[in-house]
Amino acid sequence: MNDNLCADRPTFVTHLECSMTGERYEADRLHGLSQAGRPLLVRYDLDAVKAALAKDALAARETDLWRWRELLPVRRTENIVSLGEIETPLIPVPRSGGANVLVKDEGRLPTGSFKARGLVMAVAMAKELGVTRIAMPTNGNAGAALAAYASRCGIETIVFCPEDTPEVNVREIAVQGARVWRVNGLIDDCGAIVGKGAAEGRWFDLSTLKEPYRIEGKKTMGLELAAQGGWRLPDAIFYPTGGGTGLIGMWKAFDELEKLGWIGPERPRMYAVQASGCAPIVKAFDDGVEHAERWENAHTVAAGIRVPRAVGDFLILRAVRESGGKALAVDDADTLRAVADCARDDGLLLCPEGGATLAAYRNALATGEVDAGERVVLFNCATGLKYPMPEAPNWLTVPRRSTSTRCDG
């Protein structure tokens, strides 16, 4: 077993805090949203973390998600649930992206997507807090990660997904032990079912940002980026944004690292990338408002960012604006072209959501929003192997060999 999982786990959680009002909530108790109906954020005694952990000590640990244990909420080692959450690599894409463009390839994680980061933490904390039954809406990859981790520690799981969720995702969820139901609607329709069941006491609602701990798992993307860059952050980050947990989590990670004294006040420009057919955050950004209206008739090939309404909309917009970034929308045709170009020219098979970040970067480069000399990180949130690919129709016919036998007697 990884030494990081065996080691004593000093944890420094002090309380939880409403992301809108700042109201404090007691740690080590089961919480959903705050009284204001907004996500709760986990807070740490960062002065104590600074005294307990030096960067040199961190560097000596294995480079997995659990190396960051002092900045994670799980208190008891026996409640850790792991399938091998590695530090994901930064892959150059010089031909399809540019000389200074790197892709953080989250498809290398368990269940093939970055959803593993958030769900491993949420499930570990559910285990620690005594939850026995969980439900969640999903466009595919989050449900697969939940099913894997919950099955591993014996928590019953029910998953609801839109009717057009890719078949591979639905089967993946089912084979890993969850009860999965298709719903004739979008992900927020699935979320309404989960919310109703939670209100009736049937299960705990593990929807995006409706519990505090998925953010803590996703923030490890930002922690890793800082360490991989020698404690120097990139100039810009392009992130595929549906519920936006990862973008919010990275922004939180950078703040915590600065308070530890490990990075300075400089921040990457954060670009929230959405599809033109489902761009509520883009519209809210352009309108200069703090909350996004529900996007009607949402459609895109990038199912993971087809989220008509995000409960953490104001947190996404806050991070984007404070960083000097933008919310950007890309057409499906540009997304698919980017996927094809990256695969053909750089050998990296992106998922559609990852392709959207490359398409958004190209557009931003063309408009002068970013400069070719800037260091840029694009997030590929899942392995492209889970998604439909163009047909390969070429056949070569060879002469059939004779199967008859000959006897020369």
SS3 assignment, position 60: coil
Say how far residue 219 (Cα) sits from the centre of its chain: 9
Q: Tell me, what's the pLDDT at 232? A: 97
Tens digits of residue pLDDT in 184-197: 999 999 999 999 99
Q: How many residues does the chain have?
A: 409
Going by their DSSP bridges, the two strands 269-275 and 326-330 should be labelled as parallel
Task: Identify the CA nearest to 274 among candidates 266, 284, 287, 265.
Answer: 284
Residues 237/328, Cβ–Cβ less than 8 Å: no
Q: Tell me, what's the pLDDT at 400? A: 85
11, part of any domain: no
The alpha-helical segments, DSSP class H, found in 53-140 are 55-59, 115-128
Task: Identify the CA nearest to 243 among candidates 137, 395, 397.
Answer: 137
Place of tokens 């949130």: 381
- Kindly report the three-state secondary structure assignment for every residue of 14-55: EEEEECCCCCEECCCCCCCCCCCCCCEEEEECHHHHHHHCCH
377, part of any domain: yes
18, part of any domain: no
Residue type at 400 in one-letter notation: R
The alpha-helical segments, DSSP class H, found in 200-312 are 214-218, 220-228, 245-260, 280-287
User: What is the number of domains present in the chain?
Assistant: 1
Residue type at 129 in one-letter notation: L
Range of the domain at 352: 90-110+214-386
- The C-alpha atoms of residue 49 and residue 256 are separated, in whole angstroms, by 10
Tokens of 177: 């032990």
Q: Tell me, what's the pLDDT at 6? A: 47
Q: Tell me, what's the pLDDT at 166? A: 87
- The C-alpha atoms of residue 146 and residue 149 are separated, in whole angstroms, by 5
CATH number, residue 235: 3.40.50.1100
Q: Tell me, what's the pLDDT at 127? A: 97
- The C-alpha atoms of residue 31 and residue 21 are separated, in whole angstroms, by 16
Instruction: Read off the pTM.
Output: 0.92
Per-residue pLDDT of the chain in tens (409 residues, 90 and over written 9): 455 554 455 679 999 999 999 999 999 999 999 999 999 999 999 999 999 999 999 999 999 999 999 999 999 999 999 999 999 999 999 999 999 999 999 999 999 999 999 999 999 999 999 999 999 999 999 999 999 999 999 999 999 999 989 899 999 999 999 999 999 999 999 999 999 999 999 999 999 999 999 999 999 999 999 999 999 999 999 999 999 999 999 999 999 999 999 999 999 999 999 999 999 999 999 999 999 999 999 999 999 999 999 999 999 999 999 999 999 999 999 999 999 999 999 999 999 999 999 999 999 999 999 999 999 999 999 999 999 888 999 999 999 887 665 555 5
Classify each residue of 245-282 as buried b or exposed e, where b means 16 or more C-beta atoms within 10 Å of its C-beta: bbbbbbbbbbbbbbebebbeeebbbbbbbbbbbbbbbb
- The C-alpha atoms of residue 21 and residue 74 are separated, in whole angstroms, by 25
Residues 292/309, Cβ–Cβ less than 8 Å: yes
Edge-to-edge order in the sheet of strand 13-18: 24-25, 13-18, 40-44
Tokens of 268: 């990457």
242, part of any domain: yes
Task: Identify the CA nearest to 103 among candidates 340, 370, 382, 389.
Answer: 382
397, part of any domain: no
Place of tokens 């939940």: 146
- The C-alpha atoms of residue 406 and residue 167 are separated, in whole angstroms, by 50
220, part of any domain: yes
DSSP 170-219: HHHHHHTT-EEEEESS-HHHHHHHHHHHHHTTSSEE--TTSSSSHHHHHT
Q: How many helices (H) does the chain have, and how many strands (E)?
A: 14, 13
Residue type at 13 in one-letter notation: V
Tell me the β-bridge partners of 134: 157, 204
Place of tokens 């439909």: 388
Round to the nearest angstrom and report the end-to-end CA distance of the chain.
66
Tokens of 75: 């208190």
77, part of any domain: no
Residues 89/108, Cβ–Cβ less than 8 Å: yes
| Residue 153 CB neighbours (<10 A) | 13
Task: Identify the CA nearest to 346 among candidates 108, 94, 110.
Answer: 94
- The C-alpha atoms of residue 6 and residue 78 are separated, in whole angstroms, by 9
28 Rama sector, left if φ>0, alpha if ψ -120 to 50, beta otherwise = left
403, part of any domain: no
